[in-house]
Amino acid sequence: MIDEAIRVLAGDCTVIAEAEDRTEYRGRVTTIVKPDNTVLVHDVDGYQPVAWLTRADSVSSDRADGFSLVAKKGEQTLRIAAHDQDGFAHYPTSAAGVPVGACPDCDGALVRSNGVHCVDCGSRYGVPTDATIRTEQSRCGCGLPRMRVERGLAFDVCLDRDCESLDDAVVDAFDREWDCPEPNCAGDLRILRRGGLIAGCEHYPDCDVGFAFPTGVVDGQCGCGLPTFETRTGSRCLDATCDRRLERSSRPSPAGGD
């Protein structure tokens, strides 16, 4: 299914804009009503519309009063009356994005824009913002492209999390991999989803230690005993507030070192 529709009215029209004052235009114009109810009236000159109403509260047809479109927002009203109508139509639309492959359900184009969706059938797949969509040569058995996501390791999984779960892959790799750093706590850190992925103590709520799981790959151990992650902005501890990694990295080089 398509997200929304763009409505287009073209012809010889009278356009009346009313707010604190009243302005009237007439000419052969094209009126565009976007899915968010923004109304734009364009004539032949320039890129700026001759009249517009941003995100109107309502857009309706009121043919009884002779107006083809009436848009209202608070005290503002924009009325368009077509004297000689060249066309009035609804056109299906969707978000535009970077093509990443073909939809296995309908063979439509898959594009990446706030996730991945098909521009024809509307199938949607949530994708982490840091994920890299693989090429056509790297497809899952279900027909969808695969994605590379770094969560401690570089995982190669299907776009459809019901087909291959990124969470399950991270759990298999890191669940109970690290000890809880809280003194006098003998618990392990479990990998859980609480909005995002976290590494949290198994003894919660008696122990409330928990860390957001970083984007990146494990590249060592911090001075506090937790792992460090190589991220796009540099190396960091699993505990984002920990400064022991910085203390360790600032130690002077051994005598005779460069």
| Residue 26: pLDDT band with limits 50, 70, 90 | very high
**What residues does 145 pair with on adjacent strands?**
139
Domain spanning 4-93 has what CATH number? 2.70.180.20
pLDDT, tens only, 124-169: 999 999 999 986 667 888 999 999 999 999 999 999 999 999 999 9
Total-model pTM: 0.70
pLDDT (0 to 100) of residue 252: 40
How long is the chain? 258
- Average pLDDT of the chain is 88
CA nearest neighbour of 223 among 236, 211, 208: 236
Average pLDDT over residues 72-91: 92
CA nearest neighbour of 71 among 91, 44, 43, 49: 49
- Residue 139 to residue 159: CA distance in whole angstroms: 10
Least confident of 24-38, 85-99, 214-228: 85-99
pLDDT (0 to 100) of residue 248: 45
Average pLDDT over residues 211-234: 92
Average pLDDT over residues 23-42: 95
Domain ranges of the chain: 4-93, 98-171, 172-249
Residue 46 pLDDT more than 90? Answer: no
For residue 17, report the phi and psi dihedrals to the nearest 5 degrees: -110, 125
Chain-centroid distance, C-alpha 82? 39
Residue 138 or 250, more confident: 138
Torsion, Cα of 52, 55, 56, 62 (10° steps): 70
Residue 72 pLDDT more than 90? Answer: yes
Contact indicator for 237, 230 with CB cutoff of 8 Å? no
Average pLDDT over residues 115-121: 91
Contact indicator for 218, 191 with CB cutoff of 8 Å? no
Collapsing DSSP states into helix, strand and coil, what is residue 2?
coil
CA 187 to each of CA 21, 175, 231: distance values in angstroms, whole numbers, following the listed order: 70, 12, 27
pLDDT (0 to 100) of residue 63: 61
Average pLDDT over residues 39-52: 92
